[in-house]
Amino acid sequence: MNSTEYESISIARSRYAGCCLACGICKILCYTICCRACRPATQPKEELTLLCLGLEGAGKSTLLAELAGETVPEAEPTIGFSIKAVLMERVVLSVKELGGGPTIREYWERYFSGHDAVIFVIDSMSSDEQLSESVTCLSRCLASSALRGLPVLVVCSKQDKTGSKSVDHVKAMVESVMDGRKWSIVGSSQRGVEAVKKELEEIANSIIDN
């Protein structure tokens, strides 16, 4: 082998080594980019637990199904309790509905502890007598030490129905039982739960930020 041949083999070898190095760097880059792309973009959401109360037929299951983006269930009373996950921007709400029948209500208090906020649903189609029963029920619940100081969202359901009581009418009846806690009231209707969702978002954010 003469010196010219030896020189050209050396050049070819160093070019080959350079190519291998570039390939290696490319592979590492591709791997890093793929790993980053496959990793979840956000951290797992925080979870808050809420209690959903209200007399039988008030509209709790319907509201929670709408909030959870599920098909609204056939009208069936909730036996015992049911739990729904509602996805918010920063948090997942795990909402426990307690069936509102008079027999189940006697046992409600056993399930009160360990919650961050309360949703109380009132049927806006209630007569004045039924409305008073709802307010008495709400007042008893709020007197429980397990719910002391928790924020309350009152939802006036069935606002889509003709003859429903206005949110202001219900508000005038419930404000006296709120004992200085943070509370708010909104209306809802079948396929119209945006105001409830917005209010829940605010409640959740204030719990997380404090």
Q: What residue ranges bind Mg ion (CB under 5 A)?
A: 60-61, 78
Using CB under 6 A as the binding rule, whether residue 190 contacts ligand GTP is answered as yes
Q: What are phi and psi of 133, to 5 degrees?
A: -65, -40
Pick the closer one to ligand GTP by CB: 186 or 203.
186
Residue 147 tokens, joined: 């719910």
Distance in angstroms (rounded) separating the CA atoms of residues 210 and 207: 5
Distance in angstroms (rounded) separating the CA atoms of residues 193 and 57: 17
User: Among 48, 50, 53, 57, which residue sits at the site for ligand GTP (rule: CB under 6 A)?
Assistant: 57
Q: Residue 157: which of 134, 129, 132, 182 has the closest Cα? A: 134
Residue 29 tokens, joined: 């880059």
Instruction: State the nearest-atom distance from the C-beta of 134 to Mg ion, in Å.
Output: 15
Stretch that binds ligand GTP, among 21-29, 74-82, 83-91, 134-142 (CB under 6 A): 74-82
The DSSP letter of residue 189 is B
Instruction: State the nearest-atom distance from the C-beta of 65 to Mg ion, in Å.
Output: 9
Using CB under 6 A as the binding rule, whether residue 77 contacts ligand GTP is answered as yes
Using CB under 6 A as the binding rule, whether residue 56 contacts ligand GTP is answered as yes
92 and 46 Cβ atoms separated by less than 8 Å: yes
Pick the closer one to ligand GTP by CB: 57 or 91.
57
Stretch that binds ligand GTP, among 36-44, 98-106, 138-146, 173-181 (CB under 6 A): 98-106
Q: Residue 91: which of 60, 59, 55, 49 has the closest Cα? A: 49
Using CB under 6 A as the binding rule, whether residue 152 contacts ligand GTP is answered as no
